[in-house]
Amino acid sequence: MPSSSVRPIAALTIELFRPADHLGPAAELLAARHRRVARLEPALGGRFAVPEECRALLEQAWEDGARGAVAVRDGAVAGYLLARSGEGQRGRHCWTQSHHAAYSPAAGPAVLHRLYAALSADWLADGRLHHYVVAPSADLPLWLTLGFPHEQVHAIADVPATAPTAAPDGVRKAVPTDMDALEPLLGLINEAHAAPPVFAFTDQPMWDVLRSGHLELMNDPAVAYWVCEGQDGIDGFVVMRPVPREEASILKPEGSVELLLAATAPHARGTGVGRRLTEWALADAAQRGHTLCVTDWRAANPFSSVFWPRRGFRPVAYRLHRMLDPRLMGPEHVAGV
């Protein structure tokens, strides 16, 4: 084995993350990771390739309640893992965002393995059975070995520079008086998510906010809400929103536009409605000066997992969701003899 290869993981010690000591080294690791990721996907841009920007992200994460640990080797931080606790619609959980975890290439991704092992026992003891991680594509194998399956795909597409300048027949901006015609379509995304094989937990509040949420988007001057008219009403919609500066992140480059929502009525699926709407929505975004579009979808959704890659979206990160066996919290579980 060459002397430059990864050194034994046993040489690591795990310490609680202390902002005064660890924000600087963690920001260095994150910036280096972003440079590696951006070499594979240049569209993610250079803003987070510098430690100063990453430090600001991590300071905000700490302020927002993200806590965790660092792995130290030979006195230097070789990796860190943070997570934010939460509950509600997502279950009682710990959530690691994309910027909440990074490691030095010399130590290797197994550092995250050690950090997760060190933190997750406390998460379980706190009744947090749901563990979410948003991981860059390169870290996927590590998280899969830790029992995390895909839940959501985060992707980016180039907005075509040479695009049509007029909307195709039937495609137009929505107006609030379209709400009644749109009503049968508003729940289609929830339906696709609640149905097999996605089986996403969908509670009543998620249905209750549909009408007001769509109306709010339609009335937002920054949002482009496109509909496609068919013979008997509205056949589909696509909603685009410029990513606000304060929401720009390591996965959403500043200046990009986000494809927020899309659905086609079941009777019109497979007839090109979604393609026409998406192509036009991207063309319109190009005219507004956007060069990149981000979106995300449920990995198990049989519609979107086929449709978005065919529209040019390249996966850059995955939200992974591990749910621990609830029996681990009960008296019948024997942790050791």
Ligand X SMILES: CC(C)(COP(=O)(O)OP(=O)(O)OC[C@H]1O[C@@H](n2cnc3c(N)ncnc32)[C@H](O)[C@@H]1OP(=O)(O)O)[C@@H](O)C(=O)NCCC(=O)NCCS
Residues found near ligand X in the complex (CB under 6 A)? 188-189, 192, 236, 262-264, 269-275, 297, 301-304, 306-307, 310
Contact criterion met (CB below 8 Å) for 79 and 112: yes
Residue 62: count of CB within 10 angstroms of its CB: 18
Nearest of 257, 196, 192 to residue 226 by alpha carbon: 257
Residue nearest to ligand X according to CB distances in the complex: 274
E strand spans, 205-328: 224-230, 233-242, 257-264, 292-298, 314-323
Please report how close the Cβ of residue 258 comes to ligand X at its closest, in angstroms. 12
Gap between the Cα atoms of 324 and 128, Å rounded: 9
Closer CB to ligand X, 270 or 289, in the complex: 270
Closer CB to ligand X, 86 or 230, in the complex: 230
Closer CB to ligand X, 92 or 241, in the complex: 241
Pairing between β-strand 233-242 and β-strand 150-158 as defined by DSSP bridges: unpaired
Gap between the Cα atoms of 260 and 296, Å rounded: 8
Torsion of CA 183, 243, 275, 226, to 10 degrees: 40
Closer CB to ligand X, 124 or 206, in the complex: 206
Closer CB to ligand X, 92 or 269, in the complex: 269
SS3 228: strand
Please report how close the Cβ of residue 327 comes to ligand X at its closest, in angstroms. 33
Please report how close the Cβ of residue 305 comes to ligand X at its closest, in angstroms. 9
- State both tokens at 279: 């192509």
Closer CB to ligand X, 194 or 324, in the complex: 194
Please report how close the Cβ of residue 302 comes to ligand X at its closest, in angstroms. 6
Please report how close the Cβ of residue 182 comes to ligand X at its closest, in angstroms. 13
Please report how close the Cβ of residue 193 comes to ligand X at its closest, in angstroms. 7
